[in-house]
Amino acid sequence: MNKVAVSLLALLIAGGLAQPVLAQDVASVELSRIVIAPPQSELGGIIKAGLSASYYGARAETRAYRDAQKLYFLYGQRHFEPIWLSKDTSGTITFSPAAEKIIALFRDAASEGLRPDDYLTPAIDLSKARGGDANAMAALETAFSDATLRYANHLYNGRIVPQSVDVNLDIQPKPLDEVALLEKLAKSKDPAAILGELEPTHPEFLALKAALAGFDGTGADRPAPIGTGPVLHPGNIDPRVPALRARFELPASASSVYDDALVQVVQAFQDGQGLEVDGVIGPATIAALNGGPATRREDIIANMERWRWMPRDLGKFAVMVNIPEYRLWILRDGKPEYTTRVVVGKASNQTPVFSDNIRHIVVNPYWNVPSSIIRNEVAPAVLRNPGYIDNQNMDLLYNGEAISPWSVNWNMVSPSDFPFRVRQRPGPGNALGQIKFLFPNKHDVYLHDTPSKSYFQRSTRALSHGCVRVQNPMEFADALMANEPNISRASLEAMFGSTERWVNPEHQIPVHLTYFTLRVDADGTIHSYGDVYGHNAKLIAALGLASDQPPAIIAQAQTTADDLSP
């Protein structure tokens, strides 16, 4: 059979391969011709036959097709000879030294928050090939390559498809050049180091991994978590009070009254955690009490998984919002340079989780009212009273033109078939305040000021329609423009007025809307935050860590990250 040459460019397009991940080794892929070489041994012929059957038998555009295609081209470059198996002088079949080292990683996968059984499958059984059966050897060879790629993807992108947990987790997998990675692993004397490069490098991920390694599964030294329940105000009676007294090492009492002595220690705890010091025990305080030594193993693993979903490089100068924490940071080289409180979306109007770039600042912004708010709030109000539009300093728009609400025959209009757009004009009562920070996205969310300042005094701040409201927007703007010589807080405030003004920074600034229920300080202290949208509980179920979930629910949730691989 003649050699079949296939251009690498065609392979990259057909196989869906994107830029490689291991930048220092395979970032530059020159356009060359890959040769599919004919087998030169019986084993090579069997491997080719098996891969060909998988490749040509799979439906195009499916994961199975892409997997078979990648392996077919990889093995085709080496006459379909095995990568991981070899025969010694006595004819005994063995795994290569590189494969043995990778198997050791599979066995230790739990230390990564992964599952060894995902990789040490029944197909990875050397005894099946020890009889010299060529078909068994070929099956073992390709099964090991498949397991290695699965492990690499789980290290790099996590086990679970974010969108399978919730559609508001708008996170795409990072591209991984699997063919280049397999070749590099097969040739390396230290494949563990190569696979280790795929792990997140952020200090918080590494701290969580260390916490997982030191986790005491017996729970003997960890305090019992404080249960959820109604918000507890001073003077209330609640069955959790004895547990709270025990947590703060107060004298035991049969009383369930939330008394002054307990209020004082709770306030001191809130102050130390950066919470609102009000003595009120709500979800944020309960979450903080259940952090640190009370943290569960499944919470550590779920937050490690979310770090794997994050971009590998957050940016040298970036904005990070953590939804459960209700807080925003500006990070320089990964270290906090500025922070402020934020208000995020209600459970019914969730702030989505994704990464983008801040491209524009808008001073004196119009508020283009989202269609959901028009349908549910504005339209019913206008139908009751057409004067609502003027009272709210709004424009009623039809075909892009502002019209008088008094010129409309409202008897012919219904909220479900509302043919108008609505915008609120710049002004003191504008829902966006005096400034907004735009990173154009399909969710139509952004960071902005707000006239509702009292919301920032609440400990639980899931109160918006989805956008992120910033407590100190002009301080934030000043810190955000630290790298812009021509933009400052003073120059932005000089634009305040009734006319919308757009400002375009020279540098785009990465912004990450995140969802971490555990955060780790530089000293290793773990802080816990409430699962405001339930994403954490659903991810724990998807990871198969929730023993109280029905098996069918867990199975449905366990869609692996492989299914979204490019």
Active site residues: 448, 467
Q: Please classify residue 302 by burial: count the beta carbons closer than 10 Å to its beta carbon, then call 0-12 exposed, 13-18 middle and 19+ buried.
A: buried
- The SS3 of residue 324 is helix
Spatial separation of the C-alpha atoms in residues 386 and 394, rounded to whole Å = 11
User: Scanning the structure block, which residue is given the tokens 């390396």?
Assistant: 188
Spatial separation of the C-alpha atoms in residues 535 and 550, rounded to whole Å = 18
- Please answer whether residues 10 and 73 qualify as being in contact, where contact means their C-beta atoms are separated by less than 8 angstroms: no
Spatial separation of the C-alpha atoms in residues 54 and 56, rounded to whole Å = 6
* Tokens linked to 221: 């030294």
Which residue type occupies 373? Answer: I
* Tokens linked to 133: 């059966």
> Cα 262 to the chain's mean position, in Å?
37
* Tokens linked to 89: 């002088």
Q: Residue 394: what are its φ and ψ, rounded to 5°?
A: -110, 160
Which residue type occupies 189? Answer: K
* Tokens linked to 327: 């807080």
Q: Residue 308: what are its φ and ψ, rounded to 5°?
A: -70, -25
CA dist list (Å): 151 to 71, 103, 121: 16, 11, 12
DSSP string of 21-80, one letter each residue: S-HHHHS-----EEEEPPP-SHHHHHHHHHHHHHHHHSPTTSHHHHHHHHHHHHHHTTTT
* Tokens linked to 57: 């038998």
* Tokens linked to 81: 């000879």
Closest CA to 477 of 461, 465, 459, 495: 495
Spatial separation of the C-alpha atoms in residues 177 and 175, rounded to whole Å = 7
Q: Which residues on neighbouring strands pair with residue 331, listed in sequence order?
A: 318, 336
Per DSSP, 387 falls in state: T
- Please answer whether residues 446 and 436 qualify as being in contact, where contact means their C-beta atoms are separated by less than 8 angstroms: yes
- Please answer whether residues 160 and 193 qualify as being in contact, where contact means their C-beta atoms are separated by less than 8 angstroms: no
